[in-house]
């Protein structure tokens, strides 16, 4: 995920099968809450650059690796206003 504000969200989903399974309970967790947290509904909120493993577990277990990079946009460069990363180097002298 890329974020330009340091905080963005993404919704993860997990489906229990078969539909008539006895245990449909799920618990979400993050290996690195300083990078990304996840609520009881699978909504991941990123906080800073880094890597976190999001896990959902119940009668099963699955993981999703979330890699967060913070995109910094320099508004002072009027000639480079397109999205993506800025690979130009400016002389600060």
| Interval 1-32: pLDDT, tens | 666 665 689 899 988 888 888 888 899 999 99
Question: Could you tell me the pLDDT band of residue 77, with boundaries at 50, 70 and 90?
Answer: low
In the chain, DSSP assigns E strands to 2-3, 8-11, 27-30, 36-38, 43-46, 50-57, 61-70
Where is pLDDT greater, at 60 or 62?
62
Where is pLDDT greater, at 69 or 38?
38
| Number of other residues whose CB lies within 10 A of the CB of residue 50 | 15
pTM summary value: 0.69
Encoded tokens for 11: 């919704």
């Amino acid at each position: 995920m890329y974020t330009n504000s340091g905080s963005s969200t993404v919704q993860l989903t997990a489906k229990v099968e078969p539909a008539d399974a006895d245990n449909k309970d799920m618990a979400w967790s993050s290996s690195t809450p300083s990078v990304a947290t996840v609520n009881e509904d699978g909504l991941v909120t990123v906080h800073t650059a880094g890597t976190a493993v999001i896990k959902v577990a119940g009668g099963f277990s699955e993981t999703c690796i979330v890699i967060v990079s913070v995109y910094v946009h320099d508004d002072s460069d009027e000639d480079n206003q397109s999205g993506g990363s800025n690979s130009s180097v400016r002389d600060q002298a």
